[in-house]
Amino acid sequence: MLCDNGGEILYENLWEAADAHGPEDFFFRLAGAWRGYYQMIWTCHTPKMSWDALARADVNKFKDLIHYREGDYMQCLDDAFQGFYPHMSFLRHYFSSDKAGLVQDLNDLYAFKRKSLWDCLKVKMYATSYFDDWNQCTNSVADYLVYDHNQLHEFDRDNLHDATRASKVKWWESQVRG
């Protein structure tokens, strides 16, 4: 339960920080968000638990809107929890520079978002078949993401003194690879 509380604290304070009145209020809210993040780090034992905590906070934040738009709250919550898997797959393929996997993940993420928007808010999104150049678009985005990832590693190799950025990339890669 503490894991979920950390997600709620983090999410709520980030929203309030975005709406802050002056620098003191902004940094006060940011400190509250940090407290929630820190609580999540120590109480959520897996990336999936952290995702679920943030997903629950996100869905709860928009509970009134979901009800107003006659969405299914429980299905929306389930969709939010299931979103971990397509996003984690996307990160795996990004860190391994797998273009074919990225193209598949982009298609899966669009289908996931399309279903989630319908379940939560009764908002329709076009099917991918509606777009004439959908495959060309996903291939271009995947090409860019592979290029971006390769450039990131070249940057880290060329700038070994930038240990912070390199360690963050390595940490994310270790989390994604499991």
151 and 77 belong to one structural domain: yes
Q: Are residues 77 and 52 in the same domain?
A: no
Q: Determine the length of the chain.
A: 178
Do residues 75 and 57 both lie within one domain? no
In a shared domain, residues 86 and 115:
yes
- Whether residue 54 is found in the same domain as residue 110: no
Do 102 and 16 fall within a single domain? no
**DSSP string of the chain?**
-HHHHHHHHHHHHHHHHHT-SSHHHHHHHHHHHHHHHHHHHHH--SHHHHHHHHHHHHHHHTHHHHHHTT--HHHHHHHHHHTHHHHHHHHHHHHTT-HHHHHHHHHHHHHHHHHHHHHHH------GGG-TTHHHHHHHHHHHHHHHHHHHHHHHHH-TT-HHHHHHHHHHHHHHH-
Do 53 and 105 lie in one domain? The reply is no
Write out the residue range of the structural domain in which residue 2 sits.
1-61
Same domain for 41 and 90?
no
The pLDDT value given to residue 12: 82
How many domains, the chain? 2
76 and 22 fall within a common domain: no
Four-residue CA torsion sign, 143, 146, 151, 152: positive
Q: Whole-model pTM above 0.75? A: no
Residues 26 and 111 in one domain: no
Domain boundary among 18, 35, 61: 61
Q: Which of 61, 81, 104 is the last residue of a domain?
A: 61
The predicted pLDDT at position 164 comes to 55
pLDDT by residue for the chain (178 residues), tens only, comes to 557 677 788 878 877 887 878 888 888 888 888 888 888 878 888 888 888 888 888 899 899 999 999 999 999 999 999 999 999 999 999 988 899 999 999 999 999 999 999 999 999 999 999 999 999 999 999 999 998 888 876 655 555 455 555 565 666 566 666 5
